[in-house]
């Protein structure tokens, strides 16, 4: 998909070439609005509710704030790399891991993006049916199928247009104000409910155990980290690396904190209710949930667009637009047949791959490295970064066996970053 009239010809590999200066239009508020919008979602609230009742309220909020700051900071850092270099995520992978080996993490990225895109469609379908049933319609068995096809068609329609225009005109001007109003309304409703139930008792509530603060931190960090393979695909259209970092960090951190905390609040006040049903019980919940559901479309779009960019990097004969339509069609088909409700293992599995993957990329490319130059002279395989990445995956899975209280994401991130930085070529 071309993002402007000045886009490169279809025969060029857009994913492995820096975006030209005339196509760099995103300012910090564009990055912030995009990543706030992408950070808002029913899935985030759902995962936030999973922190209850294992953790106490204060422990859950500590994990949410710390995890959001760290995770969104990493997202912003990779955004800066993408903006400074003008390269998509696939280009960064080629520069670090080698032109041939990079195909493996790119394929893994496509798989996870198809998985996320499918899951988003399932979330939207289930929410749509719940809203319809609440309104007295959509009671037939055929409605889930129709809802899936409808949302799939919406994503395909969006992917056929301009990504840049979608971000600057639709998300920033329309979707963002509506979703902020919805979150404010829902927050007010559930805070009022918490006040009625005894706010002090809920605030001082102790956890039942089964999850420590550090494992909870891993679960919170897993959400922004799941976006790491996507962020450069958008940030490369920014005017400056600093604004990409600040906008992405601020936008996503605020959304992540807000949605995770709202999920905790819902779980505290209505512990026996499904999240969607609980939201519908709130006064005005039907309207608020509908607006959040509409905003959920940009999450599915984000997965589809980046999946298309990654696929285009491997097979440039198809344009990003054609790959986008294909990815959207596959996600829609999978959403019709696959059970996609096991969230926590999926998130943590993704972290085990992409935490060390991008820790190595940051260690190799941060602090002024010329990524396009590295890409131009990249070998087929860069053995040292590959070895560190693979060792990082092993470390991620080994750490919980050593200590369940330590967590896996932050230690793996630190070790892989340090090793990648220490072994980067000098001169």
Domain count, the chain: 1
Q: Tell whether 64 is covered by a domain.
A: yes
Contacts of 12 (CB under 8 A, 6+ apart): 316
- Whole-structure pTM value: 0.89
Per-residue pLDDT at 115 exceeds 70: yes
Q: What is the mean pLDDT of residues 242-267?
A: 94
User: Minimum mean pLDDT among 105-119, 158-172, 361-375: which range?
Assistant: 158-172
Q: What is the mean pLDDT of the chain?
A: 86
Q: What is the mean pLDDT of residues 371-396?
A: 93
Residue, of 4 and 317, whose pLDDT is higher: 317
Per-residue pLDDT at 1 exceeds 70: no
pLDDT digits 0-9 by tens, 195-225: 998 888 888 888 777 787 888 888 888 888 8
- What domain range includes position 229? 21-342
Per-residue pLDDT at 9 exceeds 50: no
Concatenated DSSP letters for 320-368? HHHHHHHHHHHHHHHHHH-----HHHHHHHHHHHHHHHHHHHHHHHTTT
pLDDT digits 0-9 by tens, 361-371: 999 998 888 88
Specify the pLDDT at position 223: 84
Percent of the chain whose predicted confidence (pLDDT) is above 70? 95
Q: What is the mean pLDDT of residues 94-121?
A: 91
Structure tokens at 97: 């891991």
User: Which value, to the nearest 10 degrees, does the dihedral of the CA atoms of residues 289, 255, 338, 290 take?
Assistant: 10
Q: What is the mean pLDDT of residues 279-285?
A: 75
Phi-psi region at 220: left, alpha or beta (left = phi > 0; alpha = psi -120 to 50): alpha
Confidence of residue 261 (pLDDT cuts 50, 70, 90): very high
Using CA atoms, how far residue 416 sits from 121, 365, 403, in Å, is 34, 13, 19
d(CA 404, CA 197): 34
Q: Tell whether 228 is covered by a domain.
A: yes
Residue length, the chain? 427
Specify the pLDDT at position 417: 95
Q: Tell whether 356 is covered by a domain.
A: no
Q: What is the mean pLDDT of residues 329-352?
A: 76
Per-residue pLDDT at 6 exceeds 60: no
Per-residue pLDDT at 380 exceeds 80: yes
Q: What is the CATH number of the domain that holds 282?
A: 1.10.4160.10
Concatenated DSSP letters for 152-206? HHHHHHHHTS-HHHIIIIIIIIIIHHHHHHHHHHHHHHHHHHHHHHHHHHHHTPP
- Among candidate residues 357, 381, 411, the one with its CA nearest the CA of residue 112: 357
Specify the pLDDT at position 251: 95
Specify the pLDDT at position 348: 64
Q: Tell whether 186 is covered by a domain.
A: yes
Q: Tell whether 7 is covered by a domain.
A: no
- Among candidate residues 49, 50, 51, 68, the one with its CA nearest the CA of residue 60: 51
Q: Tell whether 273 is covered by a domain.
A: yes
Q: What is the mean pLDDT of residues 316-341?
A: 89
Specify the pLDDT at position 99: 92
d(CA 185, CA 197): 19
Percent of the chain whose predicted confidence (pLDDT) is above 90? 42
Bridge partners of 238? 26
Per-residue pLDDT at 33 exceeds 80: yes
pLDDT digits 0-9 by tens, 408-420: 888 899 999 999 9
Q: Tell whether 107 is covered by a domain.
A: yes
Q: Tell whether 402 is covered by a domain.
A: no
Per-residue pLDDT at 246 exceeds 60: yes
Confidence of residue 5 (pLDDT cuts 50, 70, 90): very low
Specify the pLDDT at position 69: 95
């Amino acid at each position: 998909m071309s993002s402007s009239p000045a886009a490169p010809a279809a025969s060029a590999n857009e994913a492995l070439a820096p975006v030209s200066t005339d196509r760099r239009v995103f300012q910090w508020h564009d990055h912030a609005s995009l990543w706030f919008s992408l950070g808002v979602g029913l899935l985030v609230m759902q995962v936030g509710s999973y922190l209850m009742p294992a953790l106490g309220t204060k422990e859950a909020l500590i994990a949410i704030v710390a995890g959001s700051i760290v995770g969104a900071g990493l997202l912003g850092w990779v955004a800066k790399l993408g903006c400074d270099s003008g390269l998509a995520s696939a280009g960064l992978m080629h520069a670090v891991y080698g032109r041939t080996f990079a195909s493996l993490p790119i394929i893994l990225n496509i798989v996870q993006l198809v998985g996320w895109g499918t899951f988003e469609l399932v979330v939207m379908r289930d929410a749509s049916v719940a809203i319809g049933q609440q309104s007295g319609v959509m009671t037939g068995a055929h409605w889930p199928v129709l809802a899936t096809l409808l949302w799939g068609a919406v994503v395909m329609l969006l992917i056929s247009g301009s990504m840049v225009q979608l971000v600057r005109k639709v998300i920033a001007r329309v979707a963002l104000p509506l979703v902020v109003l919805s979150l404010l309304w829902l927050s007010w409703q559930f805070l009022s409910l918490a006040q009625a139930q005894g706010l002090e008792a809920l605030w001082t509530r102790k956890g039942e155990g089964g999850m420590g603060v550090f494992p909870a931190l891993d679960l919170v960090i897993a959400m922004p980290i799941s976006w790491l393979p996507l962020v450069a695909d958008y940030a490369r259209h920014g005017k400056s690396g600093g604004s990409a970092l600040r906008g992405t960090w601020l936008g996503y951190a605020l959304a992540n904190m807000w949605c995770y905390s709202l999920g905790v609040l819902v779980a505290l006040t209505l512990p026996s209710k499904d999240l969607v049903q609980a939201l519908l019980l709130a006064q005005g919940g039907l309207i608020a949930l509908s607006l959040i559901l509409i905003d959920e479309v940009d999450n599915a779009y984000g997965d589809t667009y980046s999946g298309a960019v990654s696929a285009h990097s491997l097979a440039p004969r198809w344009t990003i637009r054609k790959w986008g339509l294909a990815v959207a069609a596959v996600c829609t088909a999978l959403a019709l047949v696959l059970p996609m409700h096991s969230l926590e293992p999926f998130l943590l599995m993704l972290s085990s791959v992409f935490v060390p993957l991008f820790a190595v990329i940051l260690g190799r490319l941060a602090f002024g490295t010329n990524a396009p130059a590295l890409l131009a002279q990249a070998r087929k395989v860069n053995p040292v970064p590959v070895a560190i990445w693979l060792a990082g995956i092993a470390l991620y899975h080994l750490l919980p066996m050593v200590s369940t209280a330590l967590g896996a994401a932050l230690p793996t991130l630190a070790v892989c970053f340090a090793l990648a930085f220490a072994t980067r070529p000098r001169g």
